[in-house]
Amino acid sequence: PIEHLQPGSILLEQSYAVNPTNPYRLRMIRAEETSEGVIKLWNHKFKHPERFASAATDLSQRQKITNSDLISLENCHYQLVERIDGYYGDIEPGSCCMVRRDGKNTYLVSSFHLQGDKLSTLDRGYDPKTHERLWGSIAGKFQFIRTNSWEAKWS
């Protein structure tokens, strides 16, 4: 959690196990209930991600994050829906999240399922003209199990 920002703000840091101090993705996500059983996840990137590369595990770094450090990723917000077997998230309907990767513009197709301590995710990038998959998982969804918990102390 990033408790000094708006309630529901969390830090997302993704890195490879072989290089955990050099994240390839750093985001701030803010959850907001928009209707009964539907949550919007506002997606933000950092203007200078290198300044906060250790913030996920370093409280003093996290406390330095301000709203002015963030850029909203338009058309890249998620819609999260509660179902019997957990929460399902996808890029908001009608959005086209463009991601530049390896010098090419791609559109993102991203989804996840959160159930208890388990998370499965699938992110893939496609060519906007040919719809050919250019990056992302070939073997299917990534599966994660929570090993730690950081509870927020929002009032």
Banded model confidence at residue 110, pLDDT cuts 50, 70, 90:
very high
- As a whole number, the mean pLDDT across the chain is 92
Which range of residues forms the domain containing residue 35?
Answer: 1-73
Do 51 and 93 lie in one domain? The reply is no
Do 8 and 57 lie in one domain? The reply is yes
pLDDT digits (tens, 9 = 90+) for 53-77: 889 888 899 999 999 999 999 999 9
* Residue range 83-100: mean pLDDT, rounded: 95
Residue 79 lies in a domain: no
* Cβ pair 99, 25 in contact under 8 A: no
Rounded to 5 degrees, φ, ψ at 55 are -65, -25
Whether the full predicted model's pTM is greater than 0.75, yes or no, is yes
Amino acid type, 49: P
Domain total of the chain:
2
Do 1 and 68 lie in one domain? The reply is yes
Q: What percent of the chain has pLDDT over 90?
A: 74
Do 69 and 90 lie in one domain? The reply is no
Residue 155 lies in a domain: no
More confident residue, 154 or 2: 2
pLDDT digits (tens, 9 = 90+) for 96-108: 999 999 999 999 9
Neighbouring CB atoms inside 10 A of 77's CB total 19
Do 56 and 22 lie in one domain? The reply is yes
Residue 4 belongs to a domain with what CATH number? 2.40.128.590
Q: Half-sphere exposure of 4 toward its Cβ, with a 13 Å CA cutoff?
A: 9
Question: Could you tell me which of 103, 105, 135 has the C-alpha nearest to residue 122?
Answer: 135
